[in-house]
């Protein structure tokens, strides 16, 4: 176990101005609080926070973060209180320890709903101060190093949680060493057979090529020195989990791997990075498709390096990562590297803490953007889906026409690009240009593509986009816009219902009066109340009574003739137009008066559901009426349909609707006819020929009665409009084999 003075010395070695009194006090306080507590290994519990603090010193973090590492379990596992921590160590450290305590209590391996909610809490906690995440990663790393002491039935669950959540978070924060160790330790318990097999094969390669890394390092350094370039070359063997992932991703065997070894070339400045690249590519052949420049285009987690693969010394395939020493620090430590660079006073940049420094990083900005999705998702499960989409995807880098870099997951399309630029750009996107050429919005983007988004203020995102978008941000925004569109349509329908209801009650409809009554109705916004009426969740009578408390419903005393001059009791309200899919209506067309409200209640899946009367449907040219059914939408009937009599006692459900279609309409509508024909060969064929020759479409035929001389049949067909239907019926009647034909309403 590390001694108190040893811990302080480790911190002072890289931070001479560290607060030694703070470190000593935290060490003693934690040791006393944990007292005689034991870990599963049998060691004193205090060994764990001490090892966590040791990991944090390896990251060369500030003394405040080291103190949090020592104290991180005190609130959870001892009688320590937040007030006590605040008084002894200050409110900042107390807040960090409390944040870690909340995370420690999360059961991220529970059922999906609970896991999703816990991940939401986790990211909310760490988004406030990145040090919470860094200490949590150190805590998890030590727990994984000692996982073999945990009961066997728990190991797989903890390892799966680590590789699913904590390793990707470490990668997003740029902390590659911690990520790789977490992945390797998890892999050992999740898939022990694969881990054992790959480890054995690596050992065979290691024994066969004992000196190959040293030889290649020496030859590379010698070559660079001859070219006048001072460079440090460090070789390493790829880790088992990295090899396993590559084998799975490329569907290859171990013997097909040709780049088990990777070499890092560290130089003094960026110019030397590109000089090194030039030397390498001049001397050794470059492997096509294996060059990536993350110096000019850094990854979202601030990772910067040049990657290339060459056929190097001894005809070995060598992967090279070329970077400066400073880039290397950030590559290894990620956001924690912000604590490594001091000014002359020995403090972190500008005297600020790591928590504030890291907030300036791209890696940390990703975390904040992820948390913003919380407001877009409708449930914890959606947030889990979005978070995993962001965590587990490889990256492609695309450019706006002005040169801004947009990082997206592999498989992203221009829709994802548009939402990555700005939500408003995504919501109004109607097309795109990729590298100057007009391309479909479903085109998969590649590294280096320049994408220009074409927008229209009249556009709203189709709900189907949610199924093809690759990023959580895009899916969340599309879902949010879809809900808003549905709410707007239901609100419009609800307002129409209320206008009719107020008129029947002899009252003047006023949105302002309803706003005043919202609290009595249990709503905060007018559109929410209107949408509830449109969905059938709030009765129009309840709204009237909330606005006019003294109102008494007199409808029961009214006779049928007293209801007004509307069709079947339908009051003459301002007509609601009925939009048909594909229409491009203009005000004043088809007899509609300019300024009338048009509610698109059919078409996209986001619209209010609209169906036609089950007995005979309705076609353009019919005078029609809509019947609103709560929770099911609107059913359209011809105004002369006998089926409407069943709704005479529910006039609030009647809607005055009209057709709203173009002359170029290309949609058919349902109709039903009955035909009585002679029972002789060819009769049915004659009927079918009439319908086909007149461009009608038979949907269903049913024989109702089969007598000796005649057959009665019911035919469901689809037609363009009323004239089209009447023409078909007249031509059917003209056939010698037809006794009679008529339309079913």
Tokens 């959606």 label which residue? Answer: 382
Phi, psi of 214 (to 5 degrees): -60, -40
Say which residue the tokens 């220009």 belong to. 452
Exposed / middle / buried, residue 703 (Cβ in 10 Å: 0-12, 13-18, 19+)? exposed
Residues 6+ apart with CB under 8 A from 658: 575, 576, 577, 578, 592, 624
Using DSSP's 3-state secondary structure scheme, residue 712 falls into: strand
Q: Which residue has the tokens 């001072």?
A: 230
Residue 518: partners with Cβ closer than 8 Å, 6 or more residues away:
524, 525, 526, 529
Catalytic hit among 19, 20, 43, 76: 76
On whether the CB atoms of residues 430 and 459 are closer than 8 A, the answer is yes
CA 524 and chain centroid, separation: 28
Contact between 413 and 469 under an 8 Å Cβ cutoff? The reply is yes
Q: Is 452 a catalytic residue?
A: no
Nearest to 17 by CA among 342, 493, 423, 266: 342
Residue 76 annotated to the active site: yes
| Residue 742, strand partner residues | 674
H or E segment and range at residue 178? helix 176-190
Q: How many other C-beta atoms can be found within 10 angstroms of the C-beta atom of residue 98?
A: 17
CA distance 94 to 135: 14
Q: Which residue in the list 77, 86, 117, 221 is annotated as catalytic?
A: 77
The rounded distance, in Å, linking the Cα atoms of 510 and 382 is 38
Torsion of Cα atoms, 437 then 441 then 442 then 446, to 10°:
50
Residues with catalytic function:
76-77
């Amino acid at each position: 176990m590390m001694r108190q003075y040893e811990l302080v010395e480790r911190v002072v070695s890289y931070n001479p101005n560290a607060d030694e009194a703070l470190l000593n006090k935290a060490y003693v306080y934690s040791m006393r609080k944990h007292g005689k507590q034991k870990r599963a290994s049998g060691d004193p519990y205090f060994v764990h926070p001490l090892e966590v603090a040791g990991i944090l010193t390896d990251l060369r973090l500030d003394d405040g973060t080291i103190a949090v590492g020592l104290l991180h379990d005190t609130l959870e596992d001892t009688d320590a209180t937040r007030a006590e921590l605040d008084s002894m160590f200050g409110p900042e450290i107390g807040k960090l320890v409390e944040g870690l305590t909340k995370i420690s209590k999360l059961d991220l391996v529970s059922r999906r709903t609970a896991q999703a909610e816990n991940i939401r809490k986790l990211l909310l906690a760490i988004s406030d101060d990145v040090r919470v995440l860094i200490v949590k990663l150190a805590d998890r790393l030590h727990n994984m190093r000692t996982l073999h002491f945990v009961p066997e039935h728990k190991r797989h669950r903890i390892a799966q949680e680590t590789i699913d959540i904590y390793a990707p978070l470490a990668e997003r924060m740029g902390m590659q060493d911690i990520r790789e160790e977490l992945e390797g330790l998890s892999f050992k318990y999740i898939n022990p057979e694969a881990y054992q097999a790959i480890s054995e094969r690596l050992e065979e390669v290691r024994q066969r090529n004992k000196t190959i890394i040293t030889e290649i390092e020496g030859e590379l350094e010698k070559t660079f020195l001859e070219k006048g370039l001072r460079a440090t070359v460090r070789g390493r063997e790829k880790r088992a989990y990295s090899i396993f992932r590559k084998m799975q991703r490329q569907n290859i065997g171990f013997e097909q791997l040709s780049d088990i070894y990777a070499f890092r070339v560290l130089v003094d400045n960026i110019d030397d990075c590109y000089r090194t690249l030039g030397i390498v590519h001049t001397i050794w052949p470059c492997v096509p498709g294996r060059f990536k420049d993350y110096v000019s285009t850094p990854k979202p987690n601030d990772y910067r390096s040049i990657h290339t693969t060459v056929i190097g010394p001894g005809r070995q395939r060598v992967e090279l990562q070329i970077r400066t020493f400073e880039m290397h620090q950030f590559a290894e430590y990620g956001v924690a590297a912000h604590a490594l660079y001091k000014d002359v006073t020995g403090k972190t940049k500008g005297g600020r803490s790591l928590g504030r420094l890291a907030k300036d990083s791209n890696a940390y900005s990703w975390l904040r953007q992820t948390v913003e999705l919380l407001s877009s998702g409708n449930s914890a499960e959606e947030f889990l889906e979005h978070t995993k989409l962001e965590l587990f995807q490889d990256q492609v880098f695309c450019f706006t026409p002005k040169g801004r870099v947009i990082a997206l997951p592999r498989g992203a399309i221009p829709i994802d690009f548009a939402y990555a630029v700005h939500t408003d750009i995504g919501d109004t996107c109607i097309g795109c240009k990729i590298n100057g050429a007009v391309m479909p919005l479903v085109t998969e983007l590649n590294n280096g593509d320049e994408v220009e988004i074409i927008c229209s203020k009249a556009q709203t995102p189709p709900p189907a986009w949610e199924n093809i978008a690759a990023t959580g941000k895009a899916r969340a925004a599309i879902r949010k816009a879809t809900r808003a569109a549905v709410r707007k349509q239901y609100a419009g329908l609800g307002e129409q219902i209320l206008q009719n209801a107020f008129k029947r009650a002899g009252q003047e409809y006023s949105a302002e009066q309803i706003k005043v009554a919202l609290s009595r109705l249990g709503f905060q916004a007018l559109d929410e109340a209107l949408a509830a009426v449109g969905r059938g969740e709030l009765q129009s009578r309840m709204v009237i009574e909330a606005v006019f408390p003294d109102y008494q419903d007199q409808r029961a005393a009214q006779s049928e003739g007293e209801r007004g001059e509307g069709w079947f009791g339908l009051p003459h309200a301002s007509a609601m137009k009925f939009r048909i899919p594909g229409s491009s209506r203009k005000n004043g067309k088809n007899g509609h008066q300019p300024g009338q409200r048009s509610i698109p209640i059919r078409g996209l899946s986001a619209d209010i559901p609209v169906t036609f009367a089950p007995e005979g449907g309705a076609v353009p040219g019919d005078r029609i009426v809509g019947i609103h059914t709560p929770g099911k939408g609107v059913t359209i009937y011809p105004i002369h349909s006998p089926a409407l009599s069943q709704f005479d006692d529910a006039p609030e459900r009647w809607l005055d609707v009209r057709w709203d279609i173009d002359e170029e309409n290309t949609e058919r509508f349902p109709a039903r006819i009955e035909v009585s024909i002679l029972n002789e060969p060819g009769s049915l064929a004659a009927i079918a020929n009439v319908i086909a020759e007149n461009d009608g479409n038979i949907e269903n035929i049913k024989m109702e009665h089969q007598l000796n001389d005649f057959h009665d049949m019911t035919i469901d067909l689809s037609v363009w409009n009323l004239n089209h239907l009447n023409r078909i019926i007249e031509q059917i009647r003209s056939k010698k084999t037809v006794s009679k034909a008529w339309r079913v309403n």
